[in-house]
Amino acid sequence: MPSSFLFWLCASLFALTAAQNLIDNQLTQIENNLATGATHSWEIGTRAEALTELLTPSYSVFSSSSVPLSSSQFTYGPPSSLDPVLALAHSVVANRSTSNDNAQGPQPFMQDTAAGDPASIGVAVLIANWTGYTGDGGAEDYAGAARDQVDYLFSGSVPKTSDGAISHRVSQLQLWSDSVYMVPPFLAYYGVTTANRSMLQEAYTQCKLYRSYLRDSSAGGMWKHIVMGSGTDSGHWATGNGWAAAGMLRVLRTIANSQYANTMKSEQTDLANWVGEIHNGIYPHLQSNGLFKNYPDSSNSSNFDDAASTALLASTVYRLANAWGRHTHLPQAERSWQALLASNNDSSSNSTLAHFTSDMWLTPIVDPYNFGQQGARSPEAQAFVLEMEAARGDWVAAGSQGASAAVGRWCGLGVWWRWMMVTAVVGIVGVW
């Protein structure tokens, strides 16, 4: 059989199994669920990031736009698609005094037992500052709020390791993989927008320090979830690995789009390689159904499938492909995307999608407030779906670079399986 025909056959079969993109009303319902459910600081910050990437990608670091944005991009005001993000920033800064009991000086954007989580809102605050957003309630001191948040992170109120890693918790010195999504991207934005190269370097350094404490070489490069203090988790939590990979990609892209890109090439290479380490460690554990377990390499009977981390990790594969031309794990990301958006063949279900409820909540998911338990509804999982859709959309718009690798790997089956597929298709053609 000619190889060209085999390639066409594999590509055709791949297309036949592909999922459908989410339609507008489904995306709107996911966004509405996220808006309703996001109340904690990290949920608000993640919601702002997901909406920016999906609805106004030109304002995201994953675009080709420079950071900070050129003033020409908002001469006539920011696009209306950015309104939800700007409204979030306005609400948080306007309510800061109430949240923080009228504190003055270094303080988080909102009160939280986590030192790292409130910083996740910082990028939205900085965008509101760039655009001079006033909203319906007048101008707010976005620049001052961002400065106070940075000062708080480096103040004596937040514990640090001896080499300078910022604790994710306030009450004890403790490092969580989650923090890499919350803190370094904000520090990077802040450094670039204030022309403070040392702060941009600090964003990279925080990623480097967290990696030095959390990366587990015995697990292929996956990261542990929580180290130091009481209540640690040495397991390789899938969502935590996704948080870390996504956070480092945002720092990478902030550097790449900044005035310091040419002088920080080695830092960009490191960040790309560190994301690749996580991918290389975790993707061998992707199940045949396209989903990760909550702890991918755990055989514990209480472990369960988790669509939330699956979506987040897939988004990072698409982002790394676009940002760095690395296509190794595109086949697995495509498999996950197809699985998450597959049609529901269960006639007893009211949902049209296998991994969404009838009102468009992703399922099954980890409880976002108890990482060892399965949950029912997760605001962050909704955000992860939006980030996956945004990342894959950008990848497709850029020409689906590396797609042939996905087809090749999908078709890289044993001879027997390939012959069975060929026989099946030829049989179908014969019937026609």
Task: Spell out the per-residue pLDDT of the chain, length 432, in tens.
Answer: 444 444 334 443 443 344 578 999 999 999 999 999 999 999 999 999 999 999 999 999 999 888 877 766 666 778 999 999 999 999 999 999 888 888 899 999 999 999 999 999 999 999 999 998 988 777 799 999 999 999 999 999 999 999 999 999 999 999 999 999 999 999 999 999 999 999 999 999 999 999 999 999 999 999 999 999 999 999 999 999 999 999 999 999 999 999 999 999 999 999 999 999 999 999 999 999 999 999 999 999 999 999 999 999 999 999 999 999 999 999 999 999 999 999 998 877 778 999 999 999 999 999 999 999 999 999 999 999 999 999 999 999 999 988 876 554 444 433 333 334 434 443 433 434
String of DSSP letters for 7-56: HHHHHHHHHHHPPPPPPHHHHHHHHHHHHHH--SHHHHHHHHHHHHHHH-
Question: How high is the pLDDT of residue 312?
Answer: 99
Closest to 158 in 3D by CA, of 216, 215, 212, 115: 115
Q: Please return the burial class of 421, using the count of CB atoms within 10 Å of its CB with bins 0-12, 13-18 and 19+.
A: middle
Question: How high is the pLDDT of residue 348?
Answer: 76
- Mean of all residue pLDDT scores within the chain: 89
Question: How high is the pLDDT of residue 19?
Answer: 59
Q: What is the pLDDT of residues 214-253, one digit of tens each?
A: 999 999 999 999 999 999 999 999 999 999 999 999 999 9
Phi (first) and psi of residue 227, to 5 degrees:
-130, 155
Please say whether the beta carbons of 117 and 182 come within 8 A: yes
For residue 214, the tally of other CB atoms under 10 A from its CB is 24
Distance between CA atoms of 352 and 346, rounded to whole angstroms? Answer: 9
Question: How high is the pLDDT of residue 66?
Answer: 86
Closest to 254 in 3D by CA, of 316, 190, 193, 189: 189
Distance between CA atoms of 267 and 99, rounded to whole angstroms? Answer: 36
What separation in angstroms does the CA of 333 have from each of 77, 205, 358, 432?
37, 29, 24, 34
> Is the pTM here over 0.85, yes or no?
yes
Question: How high is the pLDDT of residue 405?
Answer: 60
